[in-house]
């Protein structure tokens, strides 16, 4: 697996790179460090040569910085990494890289003191999640560098959630953390327990992953319910599927997911899926009792 780490050379970005380095070591992956520069534009044609020379100079500086960071990561984690400096829009450049290369994960830093007031890249992180095919791991500045031991995967029983969970298991099977499948229920708790039990059984059968547990938590507020579960189970990562800009459709709205990410002091892993794949899995009972 190749792990892409976009960076702006901030302390938050360095922390995320440390996390990515540890993850790459544990999963025997390669790192790819990326810095994207917005190009300079001038209206005076007479300044074009000067601007071009400045951009070349800046690119060389950034390439030197990335190589220095790459050397530090190798010294700490014995992980090789390649580097690239590109011009343009961050989300679009990352999308191109994840489309044509074998990138399995994107790791980005998030800043925050009391509650992650904003993402390090602002709205560009949401754009990266939306446009890139690879999952995105947002690592808060205050998050531990230890790999997670308890991961909560919020689900609404969609087929796309099933595929995302497969990706998650393939990613973490090297150190075998507990994975908690969680559904926040505002009604029909008994029926939804049937759903998540069937969902869990299917995943266990196909992946042979032993440390998979399922929960339905009755709560009238999705965000509070997820946060309550995370705290009560001492989870150290949240994983969820994203569909366009609507994170966890029906279960979590776009604004709700942003609140979860902003309030969390733990990494949040977002899988991008096609909205067309929002097909709800059926329980054995529904298969045997069609309408």
85 confidence band (pLDDT: 50, 70, 90): very high
Task: Tell whether the model's pLDDT for residue 31 goes beyond 50.
Answer: yes
Cα–Cα distance for residue pair 131/153, rounded to 1 Å: 22
pLDDT at 132: 84
pLDDT in tens, 253-276: 444 555 555 556 789 898 877 654
Out of 121, 146, 171, pick the residue that ends a domain: 146
Number of structural domains (the chain) is: 2
- Min mean pLDDT across 51-60, 89-98, 105-114, 238-247 is at 238-247
pLDDT at 147: 95
pLDDT at 69: 96
Mark whether 155 and 290 lie in a shared domain: yes
Out of 146, 164, 193, pick the residue that ends a domain: 146
Ordered DSSP codes for 72-89: HHHHHH---EEEEEEES-
Out of 146, 166, 195, pick the residue that ends a domain: 146
pLDDT at 277: 47
- Tokens 């991008």 found at: 272
Mark whether 202 and 250 lie in a shared domain: yes
- What value does the mean pLDDT of the chain take? 80
Q: For the domain that residue 64 is a member of, what is the CATH number?
A: 3.40.50.620
Mark whether 155 and 203 lie in a shared domain: yes
Mark whether 90 and 171 lie in a shared domain: no
For residues 60 and 34, the answer to whether their CB atoms sit within 8 Å is: no
Task: Summarize the confidence of residues 124-147 as an average pLDDT.
Answer: 84
Give Dmax over CA atoms of the chain in angstroms.
75
pLDDT in tens, 212-222: 998 989 888 87
Domain hosting residue 49, numbered range: 1-146
Mark whether 135 and 180 lie in a shared domain: no
- Tokens 């997911």 found at: 257
Mark whether 249 and 267 lie in a shared domain: yes
Mark whether 153 and 99 lie in a shared domain: no
Mark whether 178 and 120 lie in a shared domain: no
Pairing of strands 237-243, 246-247: antiparallel
The gap between the terminal CA atoms of the chain, to the nearest Å, is: 44
Mark whether 122 and 170 lie in a shared domain: no
- Whether the full predicted model's pTM is greater than 0.85, yes or no, is no
Cα–Cα distance for residue pair 166/162, rounded to 1 Å: 6
Handedness of CA 217, 270, 261, 13 (dihedral sign): positive
Tokens at residue 134, please? 């690879």
Mark whether 131 and 172 lie in a shared domain: no
- Min mean pLDDT across 79-88, 107-116, 173-182, 262-271 is at 107-116
Cα–Cα distance for residue pair 16/5, rounded to 1 Å: 8
Mark whether 105 and 163 lie in a shared domain: no
């Amino acid at each position: 697996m190749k792990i892409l780490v976009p960076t702006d050379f901030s302390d938050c970005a360095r922390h995320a790179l440390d996390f990515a380095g540890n993850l790459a070591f544990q999963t025997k992956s390669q790192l790819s460090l990326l810095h994207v520069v917005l190009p300079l534009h001038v209206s005076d044609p007479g300044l074009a040569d000067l601007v071009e020379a400045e951009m070349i100079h800046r690119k060389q500086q950034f390439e030197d910085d990335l190589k220095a960071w790459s050397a530090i990561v190798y010294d700490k984690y014995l992980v090789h990494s390649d580097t690239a400096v590109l011009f343009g829009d961050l989300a679009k450049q990352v999308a191109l890289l994840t489309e044509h290369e074998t990138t399995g994960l994107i790791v980005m830093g998030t800043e925050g003191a009391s509650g992650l007031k904003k993402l390090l890249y602002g709205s560009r992180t949401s754009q990266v999640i939306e446009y890139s095919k690879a999952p995105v791991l947002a690592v808060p500045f205050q998050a531990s560098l230890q790999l997670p031991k308890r991961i909560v995967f919020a689900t609404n029983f969609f087929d796309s959630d099933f595929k995302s969970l497969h990706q998650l298991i393939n990613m973490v099977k090297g150190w075998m953390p507990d994975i908690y499948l969680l559904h926040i229920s505002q009604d029909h708790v008994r029926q939804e327990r049937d759903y998540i039990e069937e969902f869990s059984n299917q995943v266990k059968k196909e992946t042979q992953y032993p440390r998979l547990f399922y929960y339905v938590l009755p709560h009238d507020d999705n965000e509070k319910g997820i946060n309550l579960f995370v705290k009560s189970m001492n989870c150290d990562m949240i994983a969820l599927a994203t569909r366009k800009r609507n994170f966890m459709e029906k279960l979590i709205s776009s604004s709700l997911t942003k609140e979860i990410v902003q309030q969390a002091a733990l990494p949040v892993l977002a899988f991008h899926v096609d909205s067309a794949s929002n097909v709800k899995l059926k329980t054995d009972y529904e298969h045997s009792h069609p309408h």
